Homo-oligomer: A and B are copies of this chain.
Amino acid sequence: MINDLRNIVKKFIGIDIGGTGIKGVIINGLGNVLAEGSVPTDADKGEEAMMSNIVDLINSMLSSVDIVKREISGIGIGCPGLIDSKNGMVVFAGNLNLKYYPLATEVSERVGLPVKITNDANAAALGEAKFGAGKKFEDSVLVTLGTGVGGGIVIGGKLFEGGNSAGTEIGHMVIAEDGEKCTCGRRGCYERYASARALIAQTREAMSEHKESKMWETYTLETVSGKTPFDYMDTDETAKNVVNKYIKHLACGIINIVNIFRPQVVMLGGGVSEQGERLTIPVQEYLDNEIFAGMTYAPVKVVKATLGNKAGVFGAAALLM
């Protein structure tokens, strides 16, 4: 009860830096939103422009709800790229033109509050773990199925970032030796099989090979999306095969991660996760059959993430909790 009261009283700022926009929230320890806002990133205008936008965002959120700085426990920031969270440093973020940039110190000096930072995928995982699909569990993994496959891991309620906070690159785990070439330089990486981009490529390939398919009748190789095979899977054999193969790849990587981290829950996020139970039910079946040493001790559930693109900003705020 005391703990609950404390969670209501304490306030946290979360900032999620994206390639084009920056989102912000002020939440209390229960995850209730007290204020929110957004500003452009303006990465092309240089670091100072971005800093100034972040400070404006924080000040406008504070003044919108009449909260003064000393009520805030701290600021958490999720940022794309390679992040040294211990030293608050953006080691490298191509989209933001940042290299060895002391983001935490720069924001802290301007705003006068403690700042913690992490990679944006990690922030999303912490957000889902604390306030989303993982909130009932101590140990959770978020697998984000977008352009690539992102991952974030929370163990014992704490973000697990790997050594030098440079780990959890689950998208670059090879599941098919000598397989498809990946942007990272390896062959057969998980994200070459389980990302939204991979799903679209798999759909295009199947359509080209099966011109009798209903997908081919309605879509071109340009208009097809990751949603298409799911839309047609009940009426078109080609679509059904695409979905089944995709789910098999998806499950393969998830089981690898489960055998290593043994979370209580695996949460699927990103565009493809909108398919909900069409993904979670068959992936759960693969997992039930293949998890190491069975499900009796330490069972694992597969669910859809629930916070969508707000996971990152909630998780950023949760860095201070």
Residues of A within 8 A of B (CB): 82, 84, 91-92, 138-139, 155, 160, 162-164, 166-170, 172-177, 184-186, 248-249, 252, 255-256, 259-264, 289-290, 292-293, 297-298
Residues of B near A176 (CB, < 8 A) are: 175-177
Contact B167 A297 (CB under 8 A): no
Contact A91 B166 (CB under 8 A): no
A290 to B175, CA, bound (A): 15
Residues of B near A166 (CB, < 8 A) are: 262, 293, 297-298
A132 shortest CB reach to chain B, Å: 18
Contact A163 B260 (CB under 8 A): no
Residues of B near A162 (CB, < 8 A) are: 139, 155, 260-263
A297 shortest CB reach to chain B, Å: 5
**4 closest residue pairs by CB, A with B:** A139-B163, A167-B262, A164-B298, A162-B262
A160 to B174, CA, bound (A): 22
Residues of B near A186 (CB, < 8 A) are: 255, 290
Contact A297 B172 (CB under 8 A): no
A263 to B168, CA, bound (A): 11
Identity of the chain B residue whose Cβ is nearest the Cβ of A190 in the assembled complex: B256
A81 shortest CB reach to chain B, Å: 9
A52 shortest CB reach to chain B, Å: 28
Contact A164 B84 (CB under 8 A): no
Q: Name 14 interchain pairs, CB-CB below 8 A, sorted by A.
A: A138-B163, A163-B264, A164-B298, A167-B259, A167-B260, A169-B260, A170-B260, A172-B259, A173-B173, A173-B259, A174-B252, A177-B252, A184-B292, A186-B255
A233 to B260, CA, bound (A): 34
A266 shortest CB reach to chain B, Å: 11
A289 to B187, CA, bound (A): 12
